[in-house]
Structure formats: C-alpha cells, structure tokens
C-alpha cells in the first residue's frame, strides 16, 4: 500500500491555542445548536447510531494501541455521514414561517446531494441538484431516484457551486450548501450541527476513552470543523491531536494552513476520493480548523484500492467486514503513511500507546467504482 505523505506541522495544539479554539467554538458554534440537532435527528424514522468498530488488524500493522473506526456506511440508508447535514437543514427550513414555498438546491460531488434530495422528499419540497462533469452517472442516478432534478455542468465542484448560486438567485431557490462564504453562514451552520450527531454517538460508544489522535477528512472542511467544535464542547482542553487528511490533488486545507489564510486550489485532475475534491475551505469551518488542527497530511490515490479491500476483508477474526468507500479509506491510509515515516510519526506523536479515531465517512455510494476496487481493477 503506497502513499506519499506530506505534512505541514502547525503549533496550534497546545494549552494556549486550546484556549483560542474554545473562544472560536464559542463564537461560531453553539453547544445548544448541536444538542438541538441531536434531539431532532434522533426522532427521525429509522434513526440508529452508526457503529464504532475497533480495527484490531489495522492497529496491529500501524503499531498503535487502538484504532476506532466510526462506520457511516449505514446512515439512514444513504450510505454516508452527509445524511445528517443537508437533510437537517431542510427540516429546519421547513419549519420557517417566513418561507411560503420551499424550493431547495445544492451543488455536490454525490453524497451531500443525496442528503439534500432525501431531506427535500421528507419535507415535500422541490429540489434541484447541480453536479459537475466528473460526478459519476451512478451517483447522479441515486440522487435523481430521490426525486431531485439533476443539472450537470462543465468544470469542477467549485464551478458547480457557482452555477447553483446563479440559478438560485435567478429563481428564488434556497441554497443548501455545506460550504459557506461571505453572507452565507446560517444554513452551513445547521448542516455542521447535523454532523455533530456523530460526536454525541461517539461519546457513548467510546465509554470514557478519549482518543489521543483523530484523523479527519478535509473536503470543504464542514465535517472536520463540526467534529472539532463538538469534540471541544465535550472534551475541552483534552481535545485530541487533530490531523487533517486530504488528497494531494485538492489540498486546500494544507495550502491554507501554510499561508495562514484561506487559499483557493485549482483542481487539475480529480482524485478517486471524490468527496475530498474541493478547492476551497468553507469560511465557517476555516477558523475551527485553523485553531483546532495540529497537522495536515496529503495522500495520493495509490492506497485507496488496497485499503477498501482490507476494510472488506479483515485480517483479524474479531473485526467485522466493512463496506468502506474511497473517502472512508483516507484516514487509515494517512495513519499508515505517517507510521511508515518515523520522523513524521515522532513529530505527530503517534506511537504504540496511541488511540486513534478515524471516520468511515461513506459506504458503497458508487457501486461501479466500489465493485471495480473490490475486484482489483482500481
């Protein structure tokens, strides 16, 4: 399993900067909002906490005490953690008395669009989803099957956001995006509150065992920002060392941390990890990542196939088979890449006593890609 790790080591994770992250969380992300999201989503039909799996075989190879894997592959039958976000925002919008007729729209690489379409269907709202040229037809059909109108545009994910916003302004639609920008924060904040449900569940599942390190996929930063904030709300200064994980083809968080400001990355070629293909950090998530993350690591696509197959075919009798999609593999790939470089492992502080938490963000959300990976074609 080959990867090329690049590490930007910041100095945010210390006592003084932990105080800073507390102030940022307090200003941007209300604990009451997270609790309200948890209370609401627990009442939805078919709600079940997703499993937290002890990955004994991967922990042994990585040389750490434990690897915890939050398996989001079964979330509401949509196959990813995204089911918690867009759908929750639409639920909130549907109860807004100032909105006469709710029509929602979003841009997506796949999973977020599925969440928005599902949430719109639950609330009886019209839904338009904008996808870029490289979104697979399988993902497009899955969104359309939930009742959304699909609009395919040329360009990349950031281009699809621009077109979505233009059409929303033209038709008076409500944009439901998990990335934020100047003047657009309320709905992304609701989406992030929805993502924080994972933290509430993990508090129970960890049974008091606070991880030493947490690897979080970057993308636009919404999930990472939400989990950093909600983990701080639960653990405060005991917040684990946060490691951001990105594709080397879309490393907007890595580049932004290097410059200490949001940096737009032009995506020239798409990564197999489609959910990580974002060129700019969400403005709402950025301060949380900037103050809460200790490291950023980028990986290439080479480890995706082997890791997806390893998830499906455990090498330990006490670990279940897991349907993990391409993005789910990324945190584990990064962990092994770090451990393969002793200097990097020392810098990050991962050793045989480390307890590492990773997020299995998605399951088989693109059947064609997943089947090709399992049979070794990718």
**Active-site residue set:** 82, 109
Distance between CA 333 and CA 299 in Å, rounded?
A: 8
For residue 285, the 8-state DSSP code is T
Pairing of strands 103-108, 126-131: parallel
Q: Where are the beta strands (DSSP E) in the chain?
A: 6-9, 52-54, 66-71, 103-108, 126-131, 149-152, 174-175, 213-217, 241-247, 295-299, 355-360
Q: What is the DSSP code (8-state) at residue 125? A: -
Contact 14, 222 (CB under 8 A): no
Beta sheet of 52-54, edge-to-edge order:
6-9, 295-299, 241-247, 213-217, 355-360, 66-71, 52-54
CA–CA dist 180, 245 (Å, integer): 20
Q: Which residues on neighbouring strands pair with residue 359, listed in sequence order?
A: 70
With a CB cutoff of 8 Å and minimum separation 6, the contacts of 279 are: 156, 157, 158, 250, 252, 264, 265, 266, 267
Helices (H) and strands (E) in the chain, counts: 16, 11
Closest CA to 57 of 277, 313, 319, 292: 319
Q: Are strands 52-54 and 66-71 parallel, antiparallel or unpaired?
A: antiparallel
- Alpha-carbon distances, residue 101 vs 24, 117, 124, 125, 310 (angstroms): 35, 16, 10, 8, 47
């Amino acid at each position: 399993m080959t990867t090329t790790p690049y590490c930007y080591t910041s100095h945010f994770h210390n006592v003084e900067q932990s105080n800073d992250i507390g102030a940022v969380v307090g200003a941007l992300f209300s604990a009451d909002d997270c609790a309200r999201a948890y209370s609401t989503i627990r009442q939805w039909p078919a709600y079940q906490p997703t499993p937290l799996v002890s990955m004994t075989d991967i922990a042994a190879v990585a040389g750490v005490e434990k690897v915890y894997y939050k398996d989001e592959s079964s979330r509401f039958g949509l196959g990813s953690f995204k089911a918690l976000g867009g759908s929750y925002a639409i639920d909130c919008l549907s109860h807004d008395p100032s909105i006469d007729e709710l029509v929602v729209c979003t841009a997506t690489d796949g999973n977020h669009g599925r969440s928005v379409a599902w949430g719109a269907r639950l609330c009886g709202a019209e839904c338009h989803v904008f996808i870029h040229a490289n979104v697979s037809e399988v993902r497009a059909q899955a969104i359309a099957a939930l009742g959304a109108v699909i609009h395919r545009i040329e360009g990349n994910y950031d281009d699809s956001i621009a077109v979505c916003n233009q059409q929303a302004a033209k038709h008076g639609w409500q944009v439901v995006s998990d990335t934020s920008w100047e003047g657009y924060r309320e709905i992304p904040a609701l989406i992030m509150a929805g993502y924080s449900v994972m933290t509430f569940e993990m508090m129970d599942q960890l049974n008091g065992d606070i991880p030493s390190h947490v690897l979080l996929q970057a993308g636009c930063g919404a999930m990472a920002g939400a989990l950093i904030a909600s983990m701080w709300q639960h653990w405060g200064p005991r917040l684990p060392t946060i490691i951001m994980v990105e594709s080397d083809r879309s490393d907007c968080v890595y580049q932004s941390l290097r410059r200490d400001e949001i940096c737009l990355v032009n995506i020239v070629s798409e990564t197999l990890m489609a959910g990580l293909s974002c060129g700019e950090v969400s403005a709402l998530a950025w301060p949380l990542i900037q103050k809460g993350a200790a490291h950023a690591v980028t990986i290439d696509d080479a480890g995706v196939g082997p890791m997806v197959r390893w998830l499906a075919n455990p090498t330990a009798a006490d670990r279940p088979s897991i349907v993990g999609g391409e993005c789910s593999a990324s945190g584990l790939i990064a962990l092994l890449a770090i451990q393969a470089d002793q200097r990097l492992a020392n810098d990050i502080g991962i050793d045989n006593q480390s307890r590492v938490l990773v997020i299995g963000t998605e399951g088989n959300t693109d059947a064609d890609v997943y089947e090709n990976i399992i049979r070794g074609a990718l």
